[in-house]
Structure formats: C-alpha cells, structure tokens
Structure 1
Amino acid sequence: MTSGLHTDGGAANYSRGMRTHIAVRLAATAALLLSAVGFGAFAPAAACACGGVVSPGNSATVHDEVALAGWDGRRETIVMRLALESGTDHAALIVPTPTPARVSAGSAGTFPELARLTAPEIVTERHWFAGDGGGETSAAAPPGRGPTILEQVRLGPIEATTLSGGSLDGLRNWLGANGYEMKPEVTATLDPYLRENWSFVAVKLTGAGTLTGALDPIRLTFDSDRFVYPMRMSRAAESPQTVRLYLLGAHRLQRTDADAGTQYNGVEFAGRIGDIEDQELRELTGGGNDYLTELSVGIHHPASITTDFVFAAAPGDETYRRRVTDIEYVELFGFPAGTVILGVVSLAAALVLFAVVRVVRRPS
C-alpha cells in the first residue's frame, strides 16, 4: 500500500508514493511530540505571551510556551511551562495577575496528559487512484513608591516573588535592584496593570549556571472576577506571537475581549474529558469543570494588542477533535491499482482500435 495524509481543516494534501507515506508518518509523530511540549516560536524581544522575559542584553529566549487555565467563577489557576534558552544566570519572567498570586510547583505530567487527551483522531481511507482525497481603573500610586513583597518561594532552579502595589518607578527600581533588568519598552507595559491595581509574579533563575530547555511547570492561583489570561506585556514583542492554551470550564469557552476579532483564534479541541491520570489535572477538573477547550491564537502585529485575553462560555458545547486522514492506495504490481487497471483498459482499447483499423483498411 502507498498512502498520503490530509486534515479536515483544509491543510495541504500529502501523499504520493511510499516515500511520502513514510514522511507523513514521521510528520504526524513530530506533531504529537510538539503538542506534548506546547508550540509557537516566541520572539526573544524581552517578551513572551504571558508576560515579559528579562535578562541582560536580551540573552534569554522563550522558544515554547503552553498554559493550562481554569476559573471557577471566583478563583483562577494558571499552570504554565516555558522552554527557555538562557545564556545567563539572571534570566527572569514577570507575570501580571489581577490579585496577588500564590505560586507553587506544577506537575510535570500535566501537559503530556493534555496532549494525550486531545490527540487527533486518525482514520484510514482506501483509494484506488493516487491523488484522491483532500481535504475599572484607580489612581496611580505616588511616584517612586516600591512594591510590597507578599511571598517568595523557591521551586527548584527558580525563585518566585509575588509583588503588589507601588508606582511604575518604584517597581522598576525594585526590579533593577533585584536582578530583573528590563528594557524601557517592556517596563512601559507594566504601567496599565499598576493603574488597575494588578499584582505581579517575578520569576528568576537562582542557579549559578545557564539554563537551556523546558522549565518544570509553575502554578499560579489568584482571585479574579473574570476568566483572564495576561497578554498586554506582549506589546513589546518585535515579531508575531503564537499562544496555545488549554482552558477548563463547565462549558466550551471562547474569547470575548476586544482584540479577539483581530487575531487568529483556532479551536484545536473541544469536549469533556475523563479517565485522567495526572493528579493536578484531576484536581482542576473537579466541580464540573471538565469541559476542555484547546485554543491556538496567532497575533501577527503585537504592537496592536490592547487587552488581555478574556474568556466566557461559548453559545454551545459542540465537540471538536482534529481528524487526520491516512490515505492508503490499493496496489497492483507495486503501483496504485486504479492506475494499473486504467492502463490495462487503455491498452486493450488501443489494441481493439488497431485491429478495427486494420480490418477496415484490408483490401477487398
């Protein structure tokens, strides 16, 4: 058999010959592995989707970011994992939250579990011919007043500090004195959050060496009167941003913020999940919040960002799972059967035609 592959999202068709068949299966495997660690090529412009990456000389880059978020109507939890490449031991991340967050270690098994639960359905089709198929705001704080340190925890190679209050200058001074070096354009993105009395989680590496690779997930829990994911710091990014979010709720979720209509929002999975092996994921799905919406967001022009992501229930709970179709071609003598049969028929027709012509031209 030879085979190809297409998806129901209108992706380009693959599939010509056995070499294509092998390439397709390798590509499908790679796609599943990427799903397990999140996706998106994030700009090293001192910003990632959830906040600001800070380091001397912009030597830290977030290659991949993926987050799981859930909200019970009062309290929100965000579990995030970043793949970081850092040429310094002073790399750090600033994440805004509506109220002070409690920070704890996340489970390393959460995101592989999510990848398993949302993996695409693979179906097989048999074809005879090659090429078939396709497929509210408050007054600002007095200038120079520094933030209040509410909590500081060590989680493996990172230190997380929860900060609240202060002015922009005061926060900038605290960050600079504590190893968080930020470019002016990134610092400017903190001001709207300060004016709205948001808090911040400052996360930095504590080891003496550099770090390259995926950090263990960290869990942020905070009170909130709406389901929100911080995005406004990404205005400082210099290249397009891509975000993958797993959203838990009682129903299917969609974005309702003002920027939603100007950015790409693709649903990768929607449905209720069960048979959960990861303990952290089981805890977050308690109380009926077992409907999972996997959303991929593309932001071509980060400078146009005006809001954070805000989520609310979608009009309906329609389920969706990506479908990958593996096309197998029936073969005869190592070639697609339809092509062989068509060739035989064409040859037979040619012979018959040749015989008829000879009879017609035969002298009387």
Structure 2
Amino acid sequence: MRNRIAALLLFLLATQLGSLISPAYACGCGAMVPEGRSRIGVSRETSVVRWDGRTEEIVMRFTVAGNARQAAWIMPVPTRASVELGDADLFRELTWLTRPERKARHYFFPRSGDWPFSAGAGDGAAAEAPAVGGDASVGVVGREQLGDFDVARLTATDPDALRQWLESNGFTMPDTLATEVKPYVDQKWEYVAVRLAPRKQGGVLYGTLDPLRIRFDSERLVYPMRLSRMAKTPQSLGLYVLAEHRMEPVSRIGGSAPEVTFAGKVAGRDELAPLTGGRETFLTAIDQEFPEPGRISGDHELRAAASDTPYRRAVYHDELLVIGGFPAWMLALGAVLVVVGAGTFVWLRRRRDDAPIAFDTPAAPAAPAAPGAPAEPPTARA
C-alpha cells in the first residue's frame, strides 16, 4: 500500500512539473511559443480593427505572464502587410469611450449599513539585413526591429519550408505549425512573424506589451484566428471594430457567443485620428471567450449588422431611496404616524360628541293623602 501511495505521489509531481515546463501556445491571432523550457501565457488579447471597405488595420496588444525571456508568434494576413509600433493611448481612449453607464437602482427599506443598522455614514529602428533562407519556397519581404519586437514579413508556398525558415532564424514554432498553416498557404496568404525579446538585460515577458499596428489591403473584414487552435489554455478576445456601420461576427467559430459591450458613433478624437482620419465613425466593442481553443474552426469574418442600433452596458448599484435628503422610509413612517394620530384624534372626538348627556331632574311632589286616611308621621331628624 505504501509503495502504491508513493508511486501515485511521484506521478502527480511529475504531472505538475510537466505542466510548468510545457510551452503555452496562447494567442488569439496566432501561435505564441516561448524559448526552451520557459513558459508564457497570454491572458488577454485586445485588438482594434479599422476597415473602410478596402484597407484593414489591426492594432493589437497582449497581456502575458510567465518567465520567458523570448517568445515568438506568427500572424497570417491575406495580402502584403506593413508593420509598425502602435500607440498605447489608443486603448486607454477606447476603454473610456466604451465604459459602462452607471445607473442607480433604489430600494425602500434600510439594509445593513444604512441607519439605524449602522452608525457610520455612508518608434522603429533601422531595418536589419534580412536573413536569407536556402529555400525559394519562402520569401522575405522585410525584417524590422520595432522596440521589443523582431518582425519578419514573409511569403511561403510550402508550410514545411515556412516552419524551417522560422526555426533557423530564431522563431521557435510548434511542431504542428505546418499542418495548421497549410490552409493559408493554399490561399496564398502572407505572414507576419514576430519574435519578442525585451531590450532590458535579463528582462522577462510579463504584463502588457507594447502594441503593434499591422496594415494590409482586404475587401472583407477578417480577423485571423485559425492558429489559435494550437493554444493549450482558454483564450479571451476583445475586439474594437471601427467601420462605417455596426459590425458583428458571421459565426462563433467554435467559441462562446460573441457579446457586444458597446455600439455607437464616436468622433474622430486625437487618439483615434491615426485610424479614422479625424472623421466620425461607428465603434463596435465585442468580447468573446474560447474555453476549448481546439474547437476554433477558422478566422473571424465580420459583417455589417442589420441596423446601427446603439448600445451601452449598464452597471447598476443599489441606493437607499431618499427624498429631500431624508430616507423615504422615514418619511413614509412619519406620514403613517401622522395619519394614525389624526385618525385617533378624530375618532375620540366623535365618540365624545356622540355620547348621551345626563341632566338632574327635580323630585316629583308627593300625592295628597286621601280623605280620612291617617297622616304619615313626620320623619324623625337626628
């Protein structure tokens, strides 16, 4: 029995250690893999997508955790793309614009914490020379160092050759990449491969990374998601879509039902101007969860909704109903006491008024004695 218990404990320990050193492919737009036996996870991917019917721009940023000093991911794009650093202020502005509306929901009777139940009061560097691969199946469109990102823009006609080029040029990729990328190779898509390496000596990839801005021509609004099938952990995607109309995903693509958290027109504010050109546009904010990434069936394609109905989430907070600075329940209780007191007074008054009045009447004179009857003797007085 002791041997069996020891074997079970060793098995559980090995399982836990294996989960710590296994790479995490966690990225809503592609595959992210750390170097060596380090680990990294993307807890949140947030992207801003601008589409004018001909050109699409994606500004994306990741919130990561782990102990990796380097990691890499790849994003397929339908046409030739340009890449530059994005503006982090853009996300702060969109968070402010799409904030929930706070509404009060009043209650009548006091709760815990209310009186009398509580006494208290309420930048891009110069491009590096492209690495030359030995296989003509992979073409290097460009390679740039953007902050903490080493970015390579590639073409490929062979998925295995693409994986080999990435491996030989410092982009560690999962073994299943060739299989998952084949549909893009068949459609003659191109690729943006990014290697993340903090410029700070000894730094690790942790927290919210600098955003990247990717621009390409597209006659349909598409957000690449297919490579997220390789993720080993649940995925969370947040999309801000800037277009002429309210937009919606064509399908769930294997995730939970997409939730619209905001829809409405926004002015061309300073932070949005690089994407909107300073013009008013329609903003749709969408959240979606992917509890089982292996069920992702393809890329997100978005279309115009049936109508441009505006929407804003409401967050309710409970408040004690107050009228004129006084709790409504106190006013109601006071009114009831006044009514009861007035009613009691009127009832007592009427009862007194309706009571019979007693008067003192004089005694009737004694009847005269009959003739011949003896006279009544006089009453003796003390």
Using the size of structure 1 for normalisation, the TM-score is 0.72
Question: 1:203-242, aligned counterparts within 5 Å?
Answer: 203-206=194-197, 207=199, 208-209=201-202, 210-242=204-236
Distance of 1:341 and 1:102 partners within structure 2: 68
Q: Which residue of 2 aligns with 1:93?
A: 73
Alignment of 1:8-27 (within 5 A): none
Give, in whole Å, the separation in 1 of the partners of 2:235 and 2:182: 21
Q: For each residue in 1:170-229, what CA deviation from the matched residue of structure 2 results, as whole angstroms up to 9, or x when unmatched?
A: 111111111222222344322221121111111112435323221111100011121000
Alpha carbons 2:273, 2:279 under 8 Å: kept: no
Partner of 1:107 in structure 2? 87
Name which of 322, 333, 338 aligns with 2:313: 322
1:158 has 2:149 as partner:
yes
C-alpha displacement of 1:340: 10
User: Residue 289 of structure 1: CA displacement?
Assistant: 6.3
Q: Is the 8 A contact 2:60 2:211 kept in 1?
A: yes
Answer yes or no: is the 8 Å Cα contact 1:47–1:237 preserved in 2: yes
Q: Residue 55 of structure 2 aligns with which residue?
A: 75
1:55 partnered with 2:34: yes
Query: How far apart, CA to CA, are the structure 2 residues paired with 1:130 and 1:196?
Result: 65
Residue 296 in 1 paired to residue 290 in 2? no
Render the CA deviation track for 1:269-304: whole Å, top value 9, x for unaligned.
Answer: 0000026231xx113223866100000112232222
Give the match's secondary structure for 2:206: strand
Q: Which residue pairs with 2:269 in the alignment?
A: 276
1:150–1:164 CA contact under 8 A, matched in 2? yes
Q: Is the 8 A contact 2:262 2:313 kept in 1?
A: yes
Match of 2:370 in 1: none
Cα distance between partner residues in 1 of 2:23 and 2:286:
23
CA contact (8 A) 2:255 2:288 kept: no
Distance 1:150 1:53 in 2: 21
Query: Aligned partners of 2:278 and 2:327: how far apart in 1?
Result: 53
Q: 1:243 to 1:153 in 2, by over 3 A?
A: same
**Which residue identity is paired with 1:171?**
L
Residue identity matched to 1:166: T
CA distance in 1, matches of 2:176, 2:334: 67
> Do the aligned partners of residues 192 and 130 (structure 1) sit closer, same or farther apart at CA in structure 2, a change above 3 Å counting?
farther
Provide the secondary structure at the position in 2 that maps to 1:201: strand
1:185 paired to 2:203: no
CA distance in 2, matches of 1:331, 1:273: 36
Structure 1: give runs of 5+ residues left out of the alignment.
1-42, 132-143, 353-364
Q: How far apart are 1:109 and its partner, in Å?
A: 0.5
Task: Give 3-state SS (helix, strand or coil) of 1:303's partner.
Answer: helix
Q: Write the letter of the residue equivalent to 1:213.
A: G
Alpha-carbon distance between aligned partners in 1 of 2:171 and 2:179, rounded to the nearest angstrom: 14
Indicate if the aligned counterparts of 1:90 and 1:179 stay in contact, CA closer than 8 A. no
Q: Is 116-125 or 98-107 further displaced after alignment?
A: 116-125
Instruction: Provide closer, same or farther for how the CA distance between residues 75 and 239 of structure 1 changes in structure 2, counting only shifts above 3 A.
Output: same
1:347-358 aligned at under 5 Å gives the runs none
Check whether the contact 1:45–1:58 (CA below 8 A) recurs between aligned residues. Answer: no
Question: 2:257 aligns to what?
Answer: 264
SS of the residue corresponding to residue 53 of structure 2 reads: coil
In the alignment, what sits opposite 1:285? 276
**CA displacement at 1:236 relative to structure 2:** 1.1
Pairwise CA distance, 1:254: 0.7
Identify the range of structure 1 (297-306 vs 242-251) with the bigger mean alpha-carbon deviation: 297-306
Partner of residue 46, structure 2: 66
Q: Distance in 2 between matches of 1:197 and 1:45?
A: 28
Q: Distance in 2 between matches of 1:246 and 1:156?
A: 24
Distance 1:177 1:211, change over 3 A: same
Query: Given the alignment of the two structures, is residue 313 of structure 1 paired with residue 304 of structure 2, yes or no?
Result: yes
211-220 or 264-273, larger mean C-alpha shift: 211-220
Structure 2 CA distance for partners of 1:287 and 1:72, relative to 1, 3 Å: farther
> Which residue of structure 2 aligns with residue 171 of structure 1?
162
> Is the CA contact (8 Å cut-off) linking 2:153 and 2:192 kept in structure 1?
yes
| AA in 2 matched with 1:222 | F
Which structure carries more relative contact order (alpha carbon 8 Å, separation 6+)? 1
The alpha-carbon distance between structure 1 residues 86 and 147, as it changes in their structure 2 partners (threshold 3 A), is farther
Q: Does 1:148 align with 2:139?
A: yes
Report the Cα offset of residue 232 of structure 1.
Answer: 0.3
C-alpha displacement of 1:70: 1.1
Percent of aligned pairs sharing the same letter: 38
Q: CA RMSD in A?
A: 3.0
**What's the offset of the Cα at 1:312?**
1.0
For the residue of structure 1 that corresponds to 2:239, the secondary structure is strand
Which whole-Å CA distance do the structure 1 matches of 2:163 and 2:300 have between them? Answer: 25
Q: Residue type of the partner of 2:291?
A: H
Count of paired positions: 290
